[in-house]
Amino acid sequence: MYYANGALLLSLAALVLIVWYVAGRPFAELGLGWGALPYDPVAVGVIFGFLALYAIDLYGEIGNPERQADTRKKFRELGFLPVNGGQYLHFLFLCVAAGVGEEIVYRGFMITYLRESLGSTEPWAVVATLFIPAVSFGVAHYYQGARAVVKIVAMALLFGFFFYQTGTLWPLILLHTAIDAVGGLLNWALERQS
């Protein structure tokens, strides 16, 4: 399952890259360059703020035995998170594929496409440019439950803002991969405790 899902995500990203290449557009427009340095301090602050909120939320998921039991139950219902080291090693492929594939599709392509299609820096256009991909990304993760979708949309808005301001996906790809890897590691640890 990890390899099939990962291959699907990478295939979608590959389609975007092929279309981009055939159109003669530079991959840097999709965020596959480093963007303009130094990065916008507000965008960097948003990412650090996200990391703080992520740590608080993570603690809320495992901060006491009752929450650990709830989180373990929720993770088991998903049915695909790794429960041992062997599975975790295979799961890491999916983490990387999601980090690369989803960032290219939902941030790199969708935000760039909407930004150019709407052709405006008016507040409504910026909101639409960030909101549409974020909601689409959240809906794609509905299998994780409604509460998770709200968190995922919020994360996608923050990631989208970072990309919109900096023009690079690389920090987001690394962060996205790490978040998924932590989720798998957390499930493995919770399963070892049970």
Cα gap 53→21, rounded to integer Å: 37
Mean pLDDT of 20-44: 97
Asked if residues 111 and 22 have their Cβ atoms less than 8 Å apart, the reply is no
pLDDT higher than 80, residue 194: no
DSSP string, 60-111: HHHSSHHHHHHHHHHHHHH--S--SHHHHHHHHHHHHHHHHHHIIIIIIIHH
pLDDT tens readout for residues 100-112: 999 999 999 999 9
pLDDT higher than 80, residue 146: yes
CA–CA distances in Å: residue 119 to residues 115, 122, 155: 6, 9, 25
Give the pLDDT band (50/70/90) at residue 193. Answer: confident
Share of the chain above pLDDT 90, in %: 87
DSSP type of residue 23: T
Mean pLDDT of 13-27: 98
Residue-level pLDDT at 117:
96
pLDDT higher than 80, residue 81: yes
First to last CA, the chain: 24
Mean pLDDT of 186-194: 89
